[in-house]
Amino acid sequence: MKKSKQLLNGLDSAGEPPVFFESREAFLKGLLETASKLVAAERVSFYYYDEKNALLRLMMRRSGGASFEAEENVRQGRNSPAASALAALKPLVFRNRAGHFLLTPFRIEIYSASANREAPIQGLIKLERSLKKRRFSPAEAALAQERLGGFMRSYYKAEFVALNRKYAKNLAAITELTEIFANSLRVRESFKHILTGIQTYFGFDRVRLYLIDEKARKLKGEFSSDIRGQIKSIAYEEIPLESGAHRFADIVLGKNSNTFMERYKDCVLYLPLIVQGVTIGLLIVDNLLSQQKIAPGELAMLKSFAGQIGLALDNVRLFDKVEELSLYDELTKLPLRRYFNQRFQEEFYRAERFATPLAVIWADIDYFKEVNDTYGHQIGDKVLKEIGRVILSNLRKIDFPCRYGGDEIIILLPQASGEEARKLSRRLAEEIAEIKIPVPFSKARELAVSLSVGISTFPADAASMESLLEKADDALYWVKSQGRGRIALASEVKAEKSRVEGRGDRVEGRGDRVEGEEKV
Amino acid sequence: MLIWLLSDCDTGKFAAFKNLLNSFSAQYPDIKVDFRALTRRSMWQNLFAHLRDSKHRESADLLELPHSWTAVFARLGLLAEVGGVLESFTPARYPDFLKKGCVPEESDTVFSVPWWMEAPALFYRPEEFSKRRLCPEADLLDWEHFLGTCERLAAGNKKRGFYPLLQGDGAGRLSSSHALPCVWNRGGDVFSEDLNRCTLGKDEAVKGLQDYLEPALRGYLPLFNEAVFEGGPFYEEVCAMVFGARAPASPGRKSVFKAVRLPGPRKKELVCSYNLAAAAGSPNLKEAGLFLKWASAADNSSSFAAAFGVFPCLKAGFEEALEDAREGQAWREIFSAPAMTPNITIYPTAQLLLDRALWHASLRIARQTYAREDFLKELIIAQGEIDYLLSLY
């Protein structure tokens, strides 16, 4: 409102059209106010000519001292006043039973971002007076054409300013998004940053990211972001990577485009993420809820980012893979000793701080060296793989297993007592006993595996990390010395040792009993 | 404080609103209020633009919305809870059928307050009917009779520019709000009863839509009529019936039309309510609340609605307006079985898609290139898109 007044004042004093508009709305309001004042029109309407549909379409109207948008679409007849005024590009005055009319046509050549070329904007300004008032004079018509024509020419400048703003925004987007993509290293965080970056600069109804899991031949959902930038996981979405299984799979496989897709092309963009010729995922942005077209400029820019996004995602995945390799054992999929030491410190600190128990299971695969020597390392690897699988499928989320050495496995059980650790060990031992590894060219045909297990608990058995491990190792040693394939708690071993020492006997042979122990 | 209003086919609404604002300003001189009138499409785009970039794209403090927009914009976090801006809101003061339009699906939280309402109807000129010996009760009974009536009116009046039927607004296109009663006539609908599926492609819905297109296809109803541009249409002389929600009249003259319910055997009548809602991010929520309370008060809402020929939403005011209305009997009949469009997240989008199909059909009819197959194809695609949206939101 204030702006429009400034514009009008400017026009009244200097007779020059204004040069700047805050927005298209301000421009139209200013134009209509100017026009109604200029020739004392009771009603002024701004129409643009929609060439594609051959319709005159109302953009804004001023009546009763207020400007408002309204919907009006008109197909003018070949000899109608509107058609004549548009064809001649000259003002036209007429009257009918509804009132006096003055039509002021305009036509300006302007760059159209959507058409990607110079495209004329044409239309007319309709000025009306009631029949009680005098008709529009030729002088008024000429004045209106001159002044309003000048006003329209400054529309150029308004569009130019808008275009400039857009370019500035795009430049900022390029700079910031490039930085985001380049600095993305941590998987989950990076995915979120990438989606947030896209939403900040483009603002779609939804953005979704899917990555290809080559092993499972699936397209897996990662994250989605809504129009407000809220990010949520879509890990529950899994699409088989087979032709015809799903539209997304077809796009990734390069088989798509039907009528449905054609209809979607204005408000959905499917962006396969390709790195060195290999498709690694799919980014989907859509404006389906709002049904608003994705601007061609945005389409082009996002497409140009696709390579960078793909590269960033690939980097992230590689980083993740390297990290996984350095922390996890490839055979058993169990964390390695380095990772264990770090977690052990954290868990021990937590147990001390909150006075909660912490149990340690130290397990050894019985006769593993002999398995390797007799049947070869391939069979040994199979044994390790199977044992890793059994362990991972039996643990709670808070438990932490580790391949500590060649055939040694340690499992940390936060908030677990010795008995609970024994129960778990028993379950593991039972399942492991069921593992049958086929051994070709051998009389045995199948290899059976067993574990020896020592268990210690904090604070019952030890007050420090080193001591806790030592006690579990002692218990394991005890089991091994008793013939393997058993489970022993450190407390029981201690009691047994005292008993034996008290008797003055030497501990020897398989027949000696450890309290609570079961043969597996 | 800025208020966004929906534009209207009648400039009377803005005059009425300006009067309302003047009264408000007299009572609350410290609150500066401005308003902007936007078309439905423009408001939809502006609200989404604000959601995308709230820093650079302004939104109003108070919004006038079709009731069916409440769910989507509440879900997108654009609307403030009415409980947070009004000290008290009593749903019991409103007719039951309006309540669903104030709360999003599966929720008890009120996000918008009903302000005024209207219902699509058919307006006819008794003079023209009696000249052609037509009886509204019998000759507008169902769609077949209605088309027969159009034919007789067209045959009986050879005046240049005369059409048996016109549209009450200047949009010039066919619209979903008038199409829906025709779909209901055939037992169809936009959604299945449980609102889980779109049923636009079903036979009943397609037949209903085809009924709606028929007057335009037969040339009884002009589309994108140029008379609109030239100050018309001069209802009294160039048409016998009008599709609309308000009695059509030339400026400054009393309407000569009478209202009847749209022809057909449907068991419910479409009612559209327009609600006021405060924007969640508004820095002027207190002022918005004050205006909301003031504008929805019984006297103010009744006088505002009466000023441009629609109905207020408060039960007492509505019943009073129904009593006082010209053609009270017709309106009572219409409002005896009121039905609102669903207030679910994706309904506005579904309406956009149906309107898009009708827009293309309108253009093709006007250019005389209409083919039923094209329209059907569009409906099937729209149905697919709506079903997809239903699965997402």
* B376 in contact with chain A, both atoms CB, cutoff 8 A: no
Q: Which two tokens stand for residue B51?
A: 């959601």
Q: Which of residues 55-74 of B touch A (CB under 8 A)?
A: 72
| Residue whose entry in the numeric block shows the structure tokens 């805050």 | A22
Q: Which of B14, B44, B228 comes nearest A72 by C-beta?
A: B228
The Cβ-side half-sphere exposure at A182, using a 13 Å CA radius, reads 6
Q: Is residue A358 within 8 Å of residue A457, measured between CB atoms? A: yes
* B389 in contact with chain A, both atoms CB, cutoff 8 A: yes
Chain B residues whose beta carbon lies within 8 Å of the beta carbon of residue A69? 7, 37-39, 42
Print pLDDT tens along chain A (520 aa).
Answer: 444 444 334 344 334 444 455 677 888 888 999 999 999 999 999 999 998 999 999 999 998 888 999 999 999 888 899 999 999 999 999 998 889 999 999 988 766 655 566 677 889 999 999 989 999 999 999 999 988 887 877 776 666 777 777 777 777 777 777 777 666 656 667 788 888 888 888 889 999 999 898 888 899 999 999 998 899 999 999 999 888 888 888 888 887 655 445 556 678 888 888 888 888 889 999 999 999 988 877 778 888 777 777 877 777 777 777 777 788 888 999 999 988 998 999 999 999 999 999 999 999 999 999 888 888 888 899 999 999 999 999 999 899 999 998 889 999 999 999 999 999 999 999 999 998 888 877 676 788 889 999 999 999 999 999 999 999 999 999 999 888 889 999 999 888 888 877 765 444 333 344 433 333 2
Find, among B202, B176, B186, B184, the residue nearest to B387 by Cα. B202
**Among the residues of A40-137, which ranges form H helices?**
81-88
| Amino acid occupying residue B140 | L
Q: Which of residues 342-361 of B touch A (CB under 8 A)?
A: 345-346, 349, 352-353, 356
* A52 in contact with chain B, both atoms CB, cutoff 8 A: no
Chain A residues whose beta carbon lies within 8 Å of the beta carbon of residue B363? 53
List strand residue ranges (DSSP E) for A248-378, in order: 268-275, 278-286, 358-365
| Residue whose entry in the numeric block shows the structure tokens 């508009």 | A21
The Cβ-side half-sphere exposure at B185, using a 13 Å CA radius, reads 21
Task: Give the C-alpha separation, B134 to A12, whole Å.
Answer: 58
Q: Is residue A357 within 8 Å of residue A459, measured between CB atoms? A: yes
Position A263 scores a pLDDT of 57
The CA angle A480-A483-A487, to the nearest 5 degrees, is 60
| Amino acid occupying residue A31 | L
**Among the residues of chain B, which ranges form H helices?**
12-27, 40-52, 70-75, 82-85, 96-99, 126-131, 136-139, 143-156, 176-185, 203-217, 235-238, 285-295, 298-307, 315-324, 328-335, 347-367, 372-392
Domain with CATH 3.30.450.40 in chain A: 2-153, 168-326
Q: Which two tokens stand for residue A66?
A: 């207020």
Pick the CATH number of A337-503 from 1.20.1250.20, 3.30.870.10, 3.30.1330.10, 3.30.70.270: 3.30.70.270
Contact B53 A203 (CB under 8 A): yes
The CA distances from residue A473 to A146, A189, B171, B230, B246, in Å, are: 99, 40, 86, 99, 90
* B32 in contact with chain A, both atoms CB, cutoff 8 A: no
Q: Is residue A291 within 8 Å of residue A267, measured between CB atoms? A: yes
Task: Give the C-alpha separation, B48 to A15, whole Å.
Answer: 38
Position B333 scores a pLDDT of 92
Task: Give the C-alpha separation, B366 to B206, whole Å.
Answer: 20
Find, among A463, A479, A462, the residue nearest to A471 by Cα. A462
Contact B388 A56 (CB under 8 A): no
Contact A74 B224 (CB under 8 A): yes
Position A504 scores a pLDDT of 55
Find, among B230, B185, B231, the residue nearest to B209 by Cα. B185
Q: How many CB pairs under 8 A join A and B?
A: 134
What torsion do the CA atoms of A72, A78, A84, A88 make, to the nearest 10 degrees?
A: 120
Contact B18 A66 (CB under 8 A): yes
Q: Is residue B78 within 8 Å of residue B58, measured between CB atoms? A: no
Distance from CA of A15 to the nearest CA of B (A): 28
Q: Residue A419 contacts by C-beta under 8 Å, 6 or more apart in sequence?
A: none
Nearest CA in chain B to A79: B226
Q: Which of A55, A98, A289 comes nearest B349 by C-beta?
A: A289
The CA distances from residue B193 to B190, B303, B392, in Å, are: 9, 37, 19
The CA distances from residue A114 to A110, A171, A300, in Å, are: 12, 19, 12
Distance from CA of B349 to the nearest CA of A (A): 6
What domains does chain B contain, in order, with CATH numbers? 2-117+271-339 (3.40.190.10), 121-269+346-392 (3.40.190.10)
Position A510 scores a pLDDT of 38
Q: Is residue B145 within 8 Å of residue B118, measured between CB atoms? A: no
Q: Which two tokens stand for residue B31?
A: 């609150």
Best probe of the A interface among B1, B159, B224, by most A CBs < 10 A, is B224
Chain A residues whose beta carbon lies within 8 Å of the beta carbon of residue B358? none
Contact A73 B52 (CB under 8 A): no
Q: Which of B5, B231, B352 comes nearest A291 by C-beta?
A: B352
Contact B7 A70 (CB under 8 A): yes
Position A173 scores a pLDDT of 73
Low-confidence ranges of chain B (pLDDT < 50): none
Best probe of the A interface among B4, B230, B376, B379, by most A CBs < 10 A, is B230
Nearest CA in chain B to A230: B76
Task: Give the C-alpha separation, B279 to B169, whole Å.
Answer: 29
Q: Which of B230, B388, B393 comes nearest A96 by C-beta?
A: B230
Second CATH level (architecture) for the domain A2-153? 2-Layer Sandwich (3.30)
* B11 in contact with chain A, both atoms CB, cutoff 8 A: yes
What torsion do the CA atoms of B354, B360, B362, B368 make, to the nearest 10 degrees?
A: -150
* A170 in contact with chain B, both atoms CB, cutoff 8 A: no
10 Å Cβ neighbour count for B387?
19
10 Å Cβ neighbour count for B210?
17
The CA distances from residue A480 to A384, A412, A486, A492, A510, in Å, are: 19, 21, 8, 15, 10
Task: Give the C-alpha separation, B238 to B230, whole Å.
Answer: 13
Distance from CA of A48 to the nearest CA of B (A): 13
Bridge partners, B164 (sequence order)? none
At B252-273, the pLDDT tens digits run: 778 889 999 999 999 999 999 9
Contact A72 B45 (CB under 8 A): no
Q: Which of residues 205-234 of B touch A (CB under 8 A)?
A: 223-226, 228-232, 234
Q: Which of residues 103-132 of A touch B (CB under 8 A)?
A: 126, 128, 130
Chain A residues whose beta carbon lies within 8 Å of the beta carbon of residue B346? 289
Phi, psi of A265 (to 5 degrees): -60, -25
Q: Residue B252 contacts by C-beta under 8 Å, 6 or more apart in sequence?
A: none
The CA distances from residue A196 to A10, A180, A445, B54, in Å, are: 43, 10, 57, 15
Task: Give the C-alpha separation, A16 to A153, whole Å.
Answer: 11
Chain A residues whose beta carbon lies within 8 Å of the beta carbon of residue B48? 205, 227, 290, 292
3-state helix, strand, coil in chain B (%, to 5): 45, 15, 40
* B199 in contact with chain A, both atoms CB, cutoff 8 A: no
Task: Give the C-alpha separation, B311 to B290, whole Å.
Answer: 22
User: Class for domain A168-326, per CATH?
Assistant: alpha beta
What is the torsional sign of CA B201, B203, B205, B209? positive
Q: Which of A71, A75, A76 comes nearest B7 by C-beta?
A: A71
* A172 in contact with chain B, both atoms CB, cutoff 8 A: no
Q: Which of residues 69-98 of A touch B (CB under 8 A)?
A: 69-77, 80-82, 96-98
Q: Is residue B47 within 8 Å of residue B75, measured between CB atoms? A: no
Contact B346 A289 (CB under 8 A): yes
Nearest CA in chain A to B345: A289
| Radius of gyration of the CA atoms of chain B, in A | 21
pTM of the model: 0.77
